[in-house]
Every structure is written in C-alpha cells, then in structure tokens.
Structure 1
Amino acid sequence: MDRALEEIEFLARSANRIEVLNAVRDQPRTRRDLQERTGASQPTLGRILQDFADRNWVVRTADGYAATATGRLVAEGITDLRDIVETELELRGVVRWLPTETMTFDLRRLHSATITVPSQTRPSAPVQRVTELVRQADRVRVVSHAFNERTLEVVRERTVEAGGTFEGVFSASAIEPVAEDAVLRKRLRDLVAAENAEIRIADGDVPLAITVTDGVVALLVRDDNGMLQASLETDDGQVRSWAEDLHERYWTEARPLEERELAE
C-alpha cells in the first residue's frame, strides 16, 4: 500500500487520534486537557502521543504537547478530508440534480446545509419549507423556472399586505400558466402593481430555482422529469454571495412584467 494511504488509514482507524492531533494543532495541551477533550483513557493517550512523536507530529514542551509544523499540516489535511466526505454524504442523494455547472463556490460550503426531502405524509415538504422562509422575510429575491400557487400567495401576502419587498426573475414558462388562470392572474397583477415588488421575465430557460430570503439561500432541486426532490437551505456567506450575484445577473438581463400584460 502507498505510504501516504497507510498514514491516512492509521489516523482514520481512531477518532481519538484525529481529535488529539486537532487539539494540539493550535496550542499546547496537557494530557489532562486531552483526556477531558477526547474522553480517552491515559494509557490510550500515551500510545497516541508516542505514535505521533515517532512520526514527528508532536513534541513535548513545558506547556504540554504541541504539534510540529508537519503535525499541523497533517491535522489540517485530515480535517479537510473529513469535511469533504461529510459533505459528500450529505449531498449524495441529490447531487445528480444540483445545477453544479452554475455553482462557482466550493461545495464544502454546503456542509451544514439543511436538506428537506418529500415524504409520503409531506410530499411538498421542500416547497413548504421555502414558503416558510418567504413568510418570515422582509426581503425576498427569486430566480426560478417555476412559480406555484402557494408561493405566489405567500409572496403576495408578504408584499401587498405586510410591506415586504420582492424581486423575482422567472422564465416565461413559469409565468404563462399563472397568467392564464383568472384567480392567479389577479393575485399576480396585485403583486406587479405593488410599489415594493417587481417581477421580471428572463429570455430563454432558467435552469434552477433559488430563493434568497434576507440572509438565507434556499435551492429547490428537481429531477430530469421535473419532479421535486429536495430543498437545500443555508446561511453560508459564500453561497449567499453566489446567489445574490446570480440574481443580479438575471435581473439585469430580464425585462419587467407589465401590469397591462395581465389585463382581463
């Protein structure tokens, strides 16, 4: 086996090894400190520290055990690998449908994302989660290929009745079914007429559905047949910047939806 893989396996076989190495990465730690942080017994800690000393990953100082330069390098690397794998496990069920070609941020930024999936009792759970975020927000920005009845009603309530702001960019195919329904057309017209709301129509397809509610980004994920598979929700700063830039780009290139286009 490759020596590097052997060392990775050595660390991966014991969570205590990783915890100890991370603990001494930034400052010296006594054995008592390490025992309190890891819960490992003193004999176990002794073996771990000796193994690390043999590899020149730690040295003993007057203040306890400290990581060497290479020890810090290994600690950072194994932590990065762990984060990557944890993120992959989180996204494994939905990654095939993510619009990764448009995602300019590191996928590790989705490590702590909340993923909501449909269930037998709540088949529309992802959409319900996004509408909950919209209902609680003061400012809502959307780029989407869909605009369903429930989302339209919640957005109208937040803007027309509660004074929130809304800036939505939709594909023509998302607006057309709404405009053709008499009841939905009236709600859409109320929204377009509101001073604190604006809807724009994008030329061509919109390949994703993103909602920015104050500081939170929600992404609705659909499969190749258009079936809703999940919503991903995060307040990560880099993901938010990406979503805001994407909205701005679509917003600048789209045309405003005029109230006269929704006349009876």
Structure 2
Amino acid sequence: MGHDSIPHQNAESPISDIAYLARSEHRVPTLVALTERPRSRSELCELAGVSSSTIRRTLDEFEDRVWIRKDGYQYTATRLGEAIASAMQDLIEQVETERKLRDVWHWLPEEVSDFPIETWDAMSITVAEPDSPYRPIDRFESLLKETNDLRLVRPEIALMEPCFEVLVQLIDEGVDVVLVARPESHTYFLSTYPERSVEMMQQDNFTVLEHDSLPPCGTGLLDERAAISCYEQDSGTVHVLIDTDVAAIREWAQSVCDTYASEAQPVEPP
C-alpha cells in the first residue's frame, strides 16, 4: 500500500487533536463520511449543515493532519483518517453509554458494575423520567410479551402489577414461569386478585417461591435476555430497567435465579 503524499503538520499533542475534533459537532461526522466514500466539498457542506468556508477550513485541517487526501474535486479518507474516525466513533458510543449509566451507577449490583466495559454498549438502559415514569415498566412489558421462558427474582409489585394481564396470558399459553418474591408480594396479589392468583398457582407451568432475604435489585431471565430492575428503596417504584443479551451477564443472572430459587420456599395456593 502506498503512502499518501500530503504535507504533514505535527499537532502539539494527541489531546489537541481530540480537542480539535470535539470542539465542533460537524468534524467527526465529516471525517466518518469520508471513510465511507469520496465526497465533494458541496456534498460535505450539505451533509454537515455548515457553510462552504467552514467546510473548507475543516478539510484543510484534515489534510494537514494526513487524515484525508484530495482526488480531483472530491476528498477521501486516508488509512490514518479511517483509524481516527473509527476511534472517535467508539469513544462517542462509549461516552453515550456512560452518560446513561452515570446517574444509575449506584443502583447496579456490584457484580454487574464489575463486568468489562465492552459489555456496557450492549445494555439497553431504560430510566424513569419525570414526564415518563412508566418507561422501565413499558420496556419490561414489551420483553414479557415476547418471552417463552421466564425466571424472576424479586418481581416487585410496582413492576408486576401493570403487567399482570400479560403474565396471566403467558401462563395460559403454557410458558414456564418461576417467580421468587418477597412474602409481602405474594400476600398483596393473593388479596388483590384472589381468584386469578389461585388459578395461576394451580397451573403446572407456574412456580411461585418466596424468600425473605432478596437482593435490592430484581434479576430476571426472559429467554435469551437478562433483565435487572432497580427499585426506589422507600416507595418500591421502578427507577431503572437494564436488559441485555450479553452472555456473561446472562450467566450471572442465571446463577442469581438458581441460587435464590434453591433457597426459597414454595407458596401453596390457599
């Protein structure tokens, strides 16, 4: 592979190059666009939503750094430019994930926070917002509707009651369901929905267990996805739902479900 014959201007430091790219919203997308195929200056203006003079200065800076080369009236990324564009995309994605996690980090089980950083990108993080307090529950319900096998440790009332009809339907359809809950949860559902609860508990594919010392977060397996539900300590409302198909987290969730199920006691229908 030949070298690109473009004059090279040394930057002061790697941080200065990163800072240069980060200072304007259009720079990384422009460089990424040039890794996809050659583009003209006018095309880049339209794509980036900036003026011709701005894109000209940007391209000059890119050329000085040997990130792009000019081919006729078009520009294309060099191998160096491709490397920088890829690294910046990875960094942006990682920061986007971190921004989602930073406000919920203290909610997570310690074992999950210890998983490699690479697993974070594969997490779907649904947070309750003031204007959308039911977002985590809606996400859980959407997963519940598609599952053919369900294992849940600490299914709190705030999570399960809005999904009660979906759970009933799953059991009627023969889906295997195992719930390991606090005694208070069983008492609530048996008193609030006595007939439906007893009918469900009489089904062979529905196993109800109780445990009086469960972890603060809920942990579940819905087919190939692991789900972690984080609750407000005082109110029990669902603050965050995290779900993922990462094998390592699913294996951890499986071990949590197996451990607490083996320690729990069966609940007999009244």
Q: TM-score range by the shorter chain?
A: 0.7 to 0.9
Q: Does 1:50 align with 2:50?
A: no
1:117–1:231 Cα contact (<8 Å) kept:
yes
Within the candidate set 168, 184, 201, 2:178 is matched to: 168
Q: Does 1:249 align with 2:236?
A: no
- Give the match for residue 7 of structure 2: none
- Give the match for residue 17 of structure 1: 27
Deviations 1:177-197 (A, max 9, x none): 244465367655533432333
The change in CA–CA distance for 1:63 and 1:169 in structure 2 (over 3 A counts) is farther
Shift of 1:218: 4.6
The change in CA–CA distance for 1:61 and 1:133 in structure 2 (over 3 A counts) is same
The change in CA–CA distance for 1:202 and 1:30 in structure 2 (over 3 A counts) is farther
Shift of 1:138: 4.5
1:222–1:229 Cα contact (<8 Å) kept:
yes
Q: Does 1:262 align with 2:264?
A: no
CA distance in 2, matches of 1:127, 1:115: 5
2:112–2:249 Cα contact (<8 Å) kept:
no
Shift of 1:150: 1.3
CA distance in 2, matches of 1:152, 1:258: 24
The one-letter code sitting in structure 1 at the alignment partner of 2:268 is L
CA distance in 1, matches of 2:98, 2:171: 41
Q: Does 1:154 align with 2:190?
A: no
Q: Percent identity?
A: 21
2:231–2:240 Cα contact (<8 Å) kept:
no
2:155–2:218 Cα contact (<8 Å) kept:
yes
1:218–1:233 Cα contact (<8 Å) kept:
yes
Shift of 1:114: 5.3
1:25–1:67 Cα contact (<8 Å) kept:
yes
Shift of 1:48: 1.0
The one-letter code sitting in structure 2 at the alignment partner of 1:115 is T
1:192–1:198 Cα contact (<8 Å) kept:
yes
2:128–2:135 Cα contact (<8 Å) kept:
yes
1:135–1:154 Cα contact (<8 Å) kept:
no
Q: Does 1:191 align with 2:197?
A: no
CA distance in 2, matches of 1:62, 1:47: 18
Flag structure 2 segments of 5+ consecutive residues without an equivalent. Answer: 1-10
TM-score scaled by length of structure 1: 0.74
Secondary structure at the aligned position of 1:106 is classed as: helix
- Give the match for residue 230 of structure 1: 239
2:154–2:219 Cα contact (<8 Å) kept:
no
1:35–1:45 Cα contact (<8 Å) kept:
yes
Within the candidate set 74, 80, 87, 2:84 is matched to: 74
Within the candidate set 155, 177, 184, 1:177 is matched to: 184
| Counterpart mapping for 1:101-180 below 5 A | 101-102=111-112, 104=115, 106-110=119-123, 113=124, 115-117=126-128, 119=130, 125=134, 128-129=137-138, 132-133=141-142, 136-148=145-157, 150=161, 153-154=164-165, 156-161=167-172, 163=173, 165-170=175-180, 174-180=181-187
The one-letter code sitting in structure 2 at the alignment partner of 1:176 is P
- Give the match for residue 105 of structure 2: 95
Secondary structure at the aligned position of 2:152 is classed as: strand
Secondary structure at the aligned position of 1:21 is classed as: helix
The one-letter code sitting in structure 2 at the alignment partner of 1:93 is D
Root-mean-square deviation (CA, aligned residues, Å) is 3.7
Number of residue pairs aligned between Structure 1 and Structure 2: 252
Shift of 1:116: 3.7
CA distance in 2, matches of 1:75, 1:127: 34
Flag structure 1 segments of 5+ consecutive residues without an equivalent. Answer: none
CA distance in 1, matches of 2:141, 2:47: 39
The one-letter code sitting in structure 1 at the alignment partner of 2:100 is E
TM-score scaled by length of structure 2: 0.72
The change in CA–CA distance for 1:96 and 1:25 in structure 2 (over 3 A counts) is same
